């Protein structure tokens, strides 16, 4: 049953993925890099394991992922620069106002009027005895009624808390250094001619290498989209407590991580190829380095079932 659904989903993803533009692919890749940066790496039952501060992890869970991914891309996927860009400083200022009700009470008054228990009465008396000159009235002093000792106690305290929250945004925009010399003006028609000459100078082998790179990148993104759709379908339509389903979802997550790593390698080598005009052997090297194999859902789940039987 799982194999049938998985094949159906893979076929549907093939059709959907064909209509994705290059811009959408780049945005999906940026969101994937942001997810790997901000997600919790801890396994089940372990303490949180984050690569970024806790506040940034919380912000990533609550905010729009695409907006943050574009900022991460604008920072050149530099972790430290991105953290500084998202930084905020929050200062709390608190003012307390209290109103205290006090009075002179004997031990009997504390029991019958204030309805205090014996433990609270003993505590109040102990505090007053530390400063008897100001907190205790006796028959030798100015006790008003009956000569019984009275204690100056606090019967009630009410207060109000005024909290002023100052939020300071410390976004640092990457601006041009004023000391830099102004860039010379470039005419667009000349730029187009230079570009045409550059394209004409490239050999057919270099163009084939570039096509191979592009096909590999598209293939990796396509496989990643298929696996994510399959993982989502398993979690949504099947019982997550089932051991086979749980292991399948975990295996898919590992495969997605491997494909993300392969895509990163491809983009790095592709950037080097752009810089070196796709020198000979570059495309073959990246094929050997990435080692991308076609993902077969049916074979994958048969392998899991066989492991369960063993």
Domain boundaries, the chain: 2-87+202-309, 93-165
Least confident of 28-37, 180-189, 200-209, 210-219: 180-189
**Lowest-confidence region among 76-85, 129-138, 213-222, 273-282:** 273-282
- Cα distance between residue 114 and residue 108, in whole Å: 9
Please state, in angstroms and rounded to a whole number, the distance separating the CA atoms of residues 273 and 201. 15
Enumerate residues 6+ apart whose C-beta is below 8 A from 46: none
Nearest residue to 260 via CA among 11, 32, 22, 77? 32
CB burial of residue 201 (10 Å; 0-12, 13-18, 19+): exposed
- CA-closest candidate to residue 251, choices 309, 297, 310: 297
pLDDT of residue 147: 66
Q: Kindly give the pairing relationship between strand 136-137 and strand 88-105.
A: unpaired
pLDDT at 161: 60
C-alpha closest to that of 60 among 79, 37, 90, 44: 37
Burial class of residue 284 (count of CB atoms within 10 Å of its CB; 0-12, 13-18, 19+)? exposed
More confident residue, 104 or 241: 104
C-alpha R_g of the chain: 36
Six-digit token string for 52:
């970024």
CA 214 to chain centre: 30
Give the model confidence (pLDDT) of 173-202 as tens digits. Answer: 444 444 445 555 545 555 555 556 566 555
What pLDDT is attached to residue 308? Answer: 54
Choose among 182, 290, 305: nearest CA to 242: 305
Asked if residue 221 has pLDDT above 60, the reply is yes
Please tell me whether residue 192 adopts helix, strand or coil conformation: helix
Task: Answer with the residue of higher pLDDT: 214 or 193.
Answer: 214
pLDDT at 117: 92
């Amino acid at each position: 049953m799982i194999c049938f659904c998985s094949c159906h989903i893979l076929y549907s993803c093939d059709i959907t993925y064909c209509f994705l533009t290059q811009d959408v692919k780049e945005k999906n890749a940026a969101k994937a890099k942001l997810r790997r940066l901000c997600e919790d790496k801890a396994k089940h039952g372990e303490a949180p394991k984050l690569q970024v501060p806790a506040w940034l992890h919380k912000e990533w869970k609550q905010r729009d992922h695409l907006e943050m991914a574009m900022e991460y891309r604008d920072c050149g996927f530099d972790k430290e620069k991105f953290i500084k860009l998202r930084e905020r400083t929050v200062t709390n200022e608190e003012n307390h106002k209290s109103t205290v009700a006090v009075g002179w009470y004997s031990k009997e008054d504390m029991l019958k009027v204030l309805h205090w228990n014996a433990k609270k009465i003993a505590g109040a008396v102990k505090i007053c005895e530390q400063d008897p000159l100001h907190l205790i009235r006796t028959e030798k002093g100015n006790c008003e009624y009956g000569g019984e000792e009275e204690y100056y106690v606090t019967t009630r305290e009410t207060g109000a808390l005024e909290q002023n929250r100052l939020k300071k945004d410390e976004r640092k925009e990457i601006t041009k250094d004023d000391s830099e010399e102004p860039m010379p003006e470039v005419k667009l028609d000349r730029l187009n001619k230079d570009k045409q000459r550059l394209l004409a100078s490239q050999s057919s082998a270099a163009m084939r290498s570039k096509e191979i790179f592009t096909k590999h990148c598209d293939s990796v993104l396509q496989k990643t989209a298929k696996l994510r759709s399959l993982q989502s379908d398993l979690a949504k339509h099947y019982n997550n407590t089932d051991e086979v389903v749980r292991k399948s979802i975990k295996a898919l997550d590992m495969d997605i991580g491997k494909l993300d790593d392969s895509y990163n390698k491809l983009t790095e080598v592709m950037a080097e190829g752009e810089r070196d005009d796709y020198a000979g052997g570059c495309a073959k090297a990246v094929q050997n380095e990435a080692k991308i194999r076609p993902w077969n859902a049916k074979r994958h789940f048969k392998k899991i079932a066989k492991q369960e039987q063993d």
